[in-house]
């Protein structure tokens, strides 16, 4: 979780004092840096974590640059819907509106050819990267509405190469970790699109957009890519060995910009501005076709609500489309 060199780029943020930000996946990598940016601008930041020890270390790292920051851990494992519900309930019990939400947590099991399922029975990438986040948003919707929240989802370059396979959502056939990861990121991105649309339609007051970090040297990058088989990992290894890619702090900037800059727009797609979006200062980018398909977004919403038993403020899952 260390930051090896000073970031080459920065994002000026407004004063976020008095705002509450929730950042998933802030126990490591890019998420620590997103949380650090918000804390540095004065926000009170909640870190939902599945590992308290790592959460404590992340808080200590953030305090090194933002000593006055208000930082809170809640226990939340995205791969367990009962844990997501409990974590969300902890936030609901406090009752504080949430102004910024970044759905950044993610995993990829490139070195493991075996398909795994969560305790809830869903393919692990699908649940961790997508469904757990959707369940979190469903549960804390009252707080997001109260805060007029900006919701940013962390996608990936991998989303460019994949789509949601509605006929095999759990990748029971032809599983590969890269496919599972890529389609989970497409699903999450489409969820953001539909959440924004529904919010406008129903007057929830939320705005949503999508970011991706490019290539960042974190756990998910080198550790998974280093020994992974296959052409994708080989290419990624070459890219990283050539020194391309941002530090976690640099790679956090598209999400930081998307979530908190006054210049970021609802529905925008933000990523590094350099060659192929691998690294560079954050810019608005042209979204991949897979993440702007309105019909697919509606299907993702409906099927996710059904699978996770979501209610969206009391409505039956999937009701009203």
Ligand X SMILES: NC(=O)c1ccc[n+]([C@@H]2O[C@H](COP(=O)([O-])OP(=O)(O)OC[C@H]3O[C@@H](n4cnc5c(N)ncnc54)[C@H](OP(=O)(O)O)[C@@H]3O)[C@@H](O)[C@H]2O)c1
Q: Which of 44, 77, 99, 250 binds ligand X (CB under 6 A)?
A: 77
Residue 25 CB contacts under 8 Å (≥ 6 apart), including other chains: 31, 104, 105, 106, 154
Q: Which of 105, 109, 177, 228 binds ligand X (CB under 6 A)?
A: 105
87 lies in the binding site for ligand X (CB under 6 A)? no
29 lies in the binding site for ligand X (CB under 6 A)? yes
194 lies in the binding site for ligand X (CB under 6 A)? no
Best CA proximity match to 141, nearest among 305, 321, 256: 305
- Residue 22: strand pairing partners: 46, 101
45 lies in the binding site for ligand X (CB under 6 A)? no
69 lies in the binding site for ligand X (CB under 6 A)? no
Nearer CB in complex with ligand X: 7/106: 106
CB of residue 79 to ligand X, shortest distance in Å: 4
22 lies in the binding site for ligand X (CB under 6 A)? no
152-191 mask for ligand X (x: CB under 6 A)?
A: --x-xx----------------------------------
CB of residue 49 to ligand X, shortest distance in Å: 6
Best CA proximity match to 194, nearest among 271, 93, 298: 298
Nearer CB in complex with ligand X: 157/228: 157
Q: How many CB atoms within 10 Å of residue 113?
A: 12
**Residues noted as catalytic:** 181
198 lies in the binding site for ligand X (CB under 6 A)? no
CB of residue 43 to ligand X, shortest distance in Å: 18
CB of residue 83 to ligand X, shortest distance in Å: 8
CB of residue 177 to ligand X, shortest distance in Å: 12
Nearer CB in complex with ligand X: 19/255: 255
128 lies in the binding site for ligand X (CB under 6 A)? yes
51 lies in the binding site for ligand X (CB under 6 A)? yes
The answer for 314, left when phi > 0, alpha when psi is -120 to 50, beta otherwise, is left
Nearer CB in complex with ligand X: 88/105: 105
308 lies in the binding site for ligand X (CB under 6 A)? no
211 lies in the binding site for ligand X (CB under 6 A)? no
Nearer CB in complex with ligand X: 77/194: 77
78 lies in the binding site for ligand X (CB under 6 A)? yes
Nearer CB in complex with ligand X: 145/236: 236
Contact 79, 127 (CB under 8 A): yes
- Residues in touch with ligand X (CB under 6 A): 25, 27-31, 50-51, 54, 76-79, 104-107, 128, 154, 156-157, 212-213, 215-216, 218-221
């Amino acid at each position: 979780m260390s930051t090896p060199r000073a970031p080459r780029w920065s994002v000026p943020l407004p004063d976020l004092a008095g705002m509450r930000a929730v950042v998933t996946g802030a126990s490591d990598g890019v998420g620590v840096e997103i949380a650090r940016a918000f804390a540095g601008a004065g926000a009170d930041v909640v870190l939902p974590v599945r590992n308290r020890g790592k959460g404590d270390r992340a808080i200590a790292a953030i305090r090194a640059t933002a000593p006055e920051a208000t930082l809170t851990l809640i226990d939340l494992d995205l791969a367990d819907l009962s844990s997501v519900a409990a974590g969300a309930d902890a936030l609901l019990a406090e009752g504080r509106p949430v102004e910024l939400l970044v759905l950044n947590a993610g995993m990829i099991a490139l070195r493991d050819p075996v398909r795994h399922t969560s305790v809830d029975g869903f393919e692990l990438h699908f649940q961790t990267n997508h469904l757990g986040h959707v369940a979190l948003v469903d549960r804390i919707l009252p707080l997001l509405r109260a805060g007029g929240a900006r919701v940013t989802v962390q996608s990936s370059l991998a989303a460019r190469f994949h789509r949601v396979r509605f006929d095999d959502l759990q990748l029971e056939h032809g599983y590969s970790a890269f496919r599972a990861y890529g389609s989970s990121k497409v699903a999450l991105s489409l969820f953001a699109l539909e959440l924004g649309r529904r919010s406008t339609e129903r007057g929830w007051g939320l705005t949503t957009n999508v970011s991706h970090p490019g290539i960042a040297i974190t756990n998910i990058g080198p550790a998974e890519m280093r020994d992974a088989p296959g052409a994708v990992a080989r290419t990624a290894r070459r890219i990283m060995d050539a020194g391309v890619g941002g530090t976690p702090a640099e790679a956090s900037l598209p999400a930081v910009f998307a979530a908190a800059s006054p210049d970021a727009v609802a529905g925008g797609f933000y990523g590094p501005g350099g060659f192929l979006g691998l690294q560079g200062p954050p810019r608005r980018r042209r979204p991949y076709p897979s993440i702007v398909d309105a019909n697919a977004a509606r299907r993702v919403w409906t099927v996710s609500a059904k699978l996770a038993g979501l209610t969206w403020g009391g409505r039956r899952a999937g009701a009203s489309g």
